[in-house]
Structure formats: structure tokens, C-alpha cells
């Protein structure tokens, strides 16, 4: 059984690699245990993560994706420290955040290297 890790989201690819649905607003980027990167729609990503034992729904995956996208936008602006971004994500989405060097950790589901 393939296990998946949540990496983030992108709007660069708008087609789900699993079901083929196209014209999605965004796709969830997942990494397989074999190191492959896949792009799934929110529903397919939730299904894939549930199969690996994660207790999640498409609503949760969508919320996590929003938090990661928000953090990425703040980091891209370059006007905020990593600690400020972590606090902003906590305040807006309620996920525990931490910084380790140049890496922002969001909950137990995402790491963003700067």
C-alpha cells in the first residue's frame, strides 16, 4: 500500500492525477513513500490520505491547503519573518506552528522550507 504525505497546494496544475478531473481551482500536492510527487483534487487527496490511516475529510484537506497557501503567500511577500508567518497561520487557521531554522512547520501535515 502506498502512503502519502501532504506537501502543499498548487494552481499550476489543475488536473487530478488520480481521477483525471480537470479545471480544478487548485490541486493538493502529495508525496508518495517512493518519493513520487502527485497532484490530486481535494476529494481524491482526502481519500488517499485516509487510506494511509489519516483521519481526514475533503473539508479538512481543503482547510489545510488554505493554511499552507496563506503561509506561502506571506513568505513570498518577503515582508514577514518566519515567526510572524507562523503566528499569522496560527491566528487565522488555528494550526499549531513552529519554526526550525529556515523551515516553517504547520501542524503535523506541512513543512515549508524557505
- pLDDT, one tens digit per residue, over 9-67 is 888 999 999 999 999 988 999 988 899 999 999 999 988 887 766 677 788 888 888 89
> What average pLDDT does this structure show over 93-98?
92
For residue 99, pLDDT beyond 70? yes
pLDDT of 112: 86
pTM of the model: 0.70
How far apart, in Å, are the Cα atoms of 41 and each of 15, 65, 79, 109? 7, 11, 31, 17
DSSP code of 23?
S
Amino acid at each position: 500500500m502506498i502512503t502519502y504525505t501532504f506537501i502543499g497546494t498548487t494552481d499550476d496544475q489543475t488536473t487530478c492525477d488520480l481521477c483525471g478531473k480537470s479545471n480544478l481551482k487548485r490541486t493538493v500536492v502529495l508525496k508518495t513513500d517512493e518519493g513520487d510527487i502527485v497532484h490530486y483534487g481535494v476529494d481524491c487527496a482526502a481519500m488517499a490520505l485516509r487510506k494511509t490511516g489519516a483521519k481526514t475529510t475533503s473539508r479538512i484537506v481543503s482547510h489545510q491547503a488554505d493554511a499552507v497557501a496563506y503561509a506561502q503567500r506571506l513568505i513570498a511577500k518577503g515582508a514577514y519573518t518566519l515567526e510572524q508567518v507562523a503566528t499569522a497561520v496560527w491566528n487565522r487557521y488555528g494550526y499549531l506552528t513552529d519554526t526550525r531554522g529556515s523551515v516553517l512547520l504547520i501542524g503535523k501535515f506541512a513543512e515549508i522550507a524557505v
